[in-house]
């Protein structure tokens, strides 16, 4: 009797009835937002001057060091840093929707 009971318990352990309704819902992340954000970044990059764009892309996408970018473009490291800083700032402004340019002074 004991062995029959143990066998029944063991067989029930493997006979788990699972209904689709009982399964947890798997959250699937939409990619539409990512595609729109990528399009915004691409649009903002196209507004940069060519010198700034190439430095931003080489440092950010290609992950080159400042020295490698300096050698590749044949410009001083200080110029790389300057163009990168200005390019990143313009990208921030473009992505946040801020107006670029110098604020105007009010003259009386």
Q: Among candidates 84, 77, 98, which has minimal Cα distance to 49?
A: 84
Q: pTM of the predicted model, to two decimals? A: 0.60
H helices present in 15-107, as ranges: 32-47, 50-60, 66-73, 77-96
pLDDT at 9 (0 to 100): 76
pLDDT at 87 (0 to 100): 94
pLDDT at 2 (0 to 100): 85
State the helix-helix crossing angle for 77-96 and 50-60, rounded to 10 degrees: 90
Tokens, residue 87: 């390019």
- The secondary element (H helix, E strand) that includes residue 2 is helix 2-14
Distance CA 44, CA 37 (A): 10
> Which residues of the chain are under the pLDDT cut of 50?
none
pLDDT at 58 (0 to 100): 94
Domains observed in the chain: 38-98 (1.10.10.10)
């Amino acid at each position: 009797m004991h062995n029959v009971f143990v066998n029944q318990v063991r067989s029930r352990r493997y006979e788990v009835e699972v209904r689709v309704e009982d399964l947890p819902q798997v959250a699937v992340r939409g990619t539409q937002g990512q595609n729109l954000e990528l399009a915004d970044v691409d649009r903002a990059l196209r507004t940069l001057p060519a010198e700034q764009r190439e430095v931003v892309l080489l440092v950010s996408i290609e992950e080159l060091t400042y020295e490698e970018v300096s050698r590749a473009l044949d410009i001083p490291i200080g110029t790389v840093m300057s163009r990168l800083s200005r390019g990143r700032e313009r990208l921030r402004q473009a992505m946040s929707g801020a107006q670029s340019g110098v604020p105007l002074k009010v003259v009386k």
